[in-house]
Amino acid sequence: MPWLKLAWATALFILFFSVSAWYGGNGKPISPEEGEQLLEAILEAYGEETVAPDGLYQNMLDMIPKDDGKEFYAVNLEQLKAGEEARAADAAYANVVVPLLLKRASHPVFASERAGLMLGRYGEEVDRVAVVRYRSLRDLLTMVVEPSMVEGGAHKFAALEHTEVFITRPYISFVQVRLVLALILALIVIAGWRLIGWAQSRRARTS
């Protein structure tokens, strides 16, 4: 029955486009009014200490007018604290932040410990590099004011001696989540067609 194969393929195509739309990365920029609300939420969640020149509030105040609504990558340069307690705090922070990221179609892309230096000396202060994909600046700002994220900040500072985080917009990237998903679903479509064909042939032989 060709209609069964067509229905199978159609269902997976709908799944692909639904996931692709949810994954996003090309949304609307934050409006000035929305930006004010998000900044007020940061102040309410973290207090006046975040208004420092190098703090989250000031950096987001500078970043919101530049927002284009598109995905970006946050590069984290981390100096880790030593000891078992710091490692436990690092794991506890990951348990908080990863679900919040995935909820917003955001995710870690790369994490690695420094193995050595190639040029310059700045890398001596960096123990780990992590790159995180965010669907939008809006997603980042709504995530950082989540109660669990605010509470989880204690784990972060218990794990890190220092961290520098900056936002980048890729013009070359081999992180192709949609392409990988499309290939996986294409294989599932083919496997489903073969299974349907096998089941139909078996039914024809036994009838």
Grouping H, G, I as helix, E, B as strand and the rest as coil, residue 168 is: strand
φ, ψ of residue 148 to 5 degrees: the values are -65, -30
Separation in Å, CA 188 to CA 21, 81, 142, 179, 200: 20, 45, 35, 14, 18
Q: What is the pLDDT of residue 207?
A: 64
Q: Give which of 98, 87, 56 is closest to 158, Cα–Cα.
A: 87
- The total of other beta-carbon atoms located within 10 Å of residue 160's CB is 19
User: Distance between CA atoms of 144 and 151, rounded to whole angstroms?
Assistant: 10
Element (H, E) at 131: strand 128-134
- Taking 3-state DSSP, the helix, strand and coil percentages for the chain, each rounded to the nearest 5, stand at 60, 15, 20
For residue 33, pLDDT beyond 70: yes
Q: What is the mean pLDDT of the chain?
A: 90
Given a cut of 80, whether residue 16 has pLDDT beyond it is: yes
Q: Is the pLDDT of residue 46 over 90?
A: no
DSSP 67: -
Q: Who's near 43: CB < 8 A, 6+ residues apart?
A: 50, 51, 57
Look at residue 177 and tell me whether its pLDDT is greater than 90.
no
The pLDDT score that the predictor gives to residue 6 is: 86
Between residues 135 and 2, the one the model is more confident about:
135
* pLDDT for residue 1 is more than 60: no
Residue with tokens 């980048």: 168
Model confidence pLDDT, tens digit, residues 94-111: 999 999 999 999 999 999
What's the pLDDT band for 168 if we cut at 50, 70, 90? very high
Say if CB 80 and CB 86 are below 8 A apart: yes
pLDDT tens digits along 47-85: 877 767 778 899 999 999 999 999 999 999 999 999 999
* Cα separation, 73 vs 109, whole angstroms: 9
Is residue 147 a contact partner of residue 56, using CB atoms and an 8 Å limit?
no
